[in-house]
């Protein structure tokens, strides 16, 4: 804040809740400074001029804190459990909203091995980058390459998005999306799908032949 007095100042300060005093920078008849609000209450400005006279009956200002709500985050695409394709690329669209913007976004996942019940299933994270953290809405498209995970047929990757807001007063608040599954199909399932597509193609051609 900054202020201008009708007299030359020697001191200026902010009195918060009648107990905390913060000195302001003074230059001639001007004063400036600020304070971090951590609780509700009130404050007033105390001025002392160069004749040691103090301002009488200063205006008391009320401090009301706005509650910082938790952010929302969801995976809008694919937004359901899926089978992985042979290139092991899983396109994701992650959306989020918050009243004060965002500080971090990450993807959490764990691998469920079909033939290795004692394999590592610990939770791992991938940090995701985004622009303009102060915006209230977030949209991130991410092509997740699962090749480094060394998946085998029947393995399942359980994943979710997690976001943290910009609350630098009481600390960032986090939220998680719904958890989805991406499954690496078995060879038998892949062959069944190929056969089903071939049968559908054959039936389509057969229908065209009958019409002609």
Q: Can you give the pLDDT at residue 191?
A: 61
Q: Is the pLDDT of residue 194 over 60?
A: no
Q: Can you give the pLDDT at residue 192?
A: 64
Cα distance between residue 188 and residue 170, in whole Å: 53
What is the rounded average pLDDT of the residues 25-32?
94
Q: Which helix (H) or strand (E) holds 21?
A: strand 20-23
Q: Can you give the pLDDT at residue 205?
A: 44
Q: Which two structure tokens, joined as six digits, stand for 62? A: 């009320």
Question: Are the C-beta atoms of 139 and 95 separated by less than 8 Å?
Answer: yes
Cα distance between residue 31 and residue 48, in whole Å: 11
Could you give the count of Cα atoms lying within 13 Å of 166 in the half-sphere of its Cβ? 14
- Could you say which DSSP state residue 50 is in? T
Q: Can you give the pLDDT at residue 117?
A: 65
List residues bridging with 16 in a β-sheet: 20, 43
Cα distance between residue 157 and residue 183, in whole Å: 6
Percentage of residues in the chain having pLDDT higher than 90: 62
Q: Is the pLDDT of residue 138 over 80?
A: yes
Question: Are the C-beta atoms of 167 and 174 separated by less than 8 Å?
Answer: no
Helices then strands, counting H and E runs in the chain, come out as 1, 16
86-131, pLDDT tens digit by residue? 899 999 999 999 988 899 999 999 999 887 766 778 899 999 998 8
């Amino acid at each position: 804040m900054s202020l201008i007095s009708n007299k030359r100042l020697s001191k200026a300060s902010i009195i918060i809740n009648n107990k905390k005093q913060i000195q302001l920078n003074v230059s001639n008849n001007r004063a400036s400074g600020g304070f971090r609000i951590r609780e509700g209450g009130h404050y007033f400005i105390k001025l002392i001029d160069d004749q040691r006279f103090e301002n009488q009956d200063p205006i008391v200002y009320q401090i009301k804190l706005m509650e910082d709500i938790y952010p929302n985050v969801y995976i809008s695409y694919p937004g359901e459990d899926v089978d992985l394709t042979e290139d092991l690329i899983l396109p994701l669209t992650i959306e989020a909203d918050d009243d004060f913007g965002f500080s971090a976004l990450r993807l959490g996942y764990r691998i469920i091995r079909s033939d290795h019940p004692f394999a590592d299933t610990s939770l791992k994270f991938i940090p995701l980058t985004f622009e303009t953290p102060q915006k209230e809405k977030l949209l991130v498209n991410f092509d997740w390459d699962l090749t480094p995970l060394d998946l085998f047929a029947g393995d399942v990757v359980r994943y979710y998005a997690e976001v943290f807001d910009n609350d630098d007063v009481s600390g960032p608040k986090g939220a998680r999306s719904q958890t989805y599954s991406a499954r690496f199909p078995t060879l038998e399932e892949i062959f069944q799908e190929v056969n089903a597509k071939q049968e559908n193609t054959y039936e389509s051609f057969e229908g065209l032949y009958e019409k002609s």
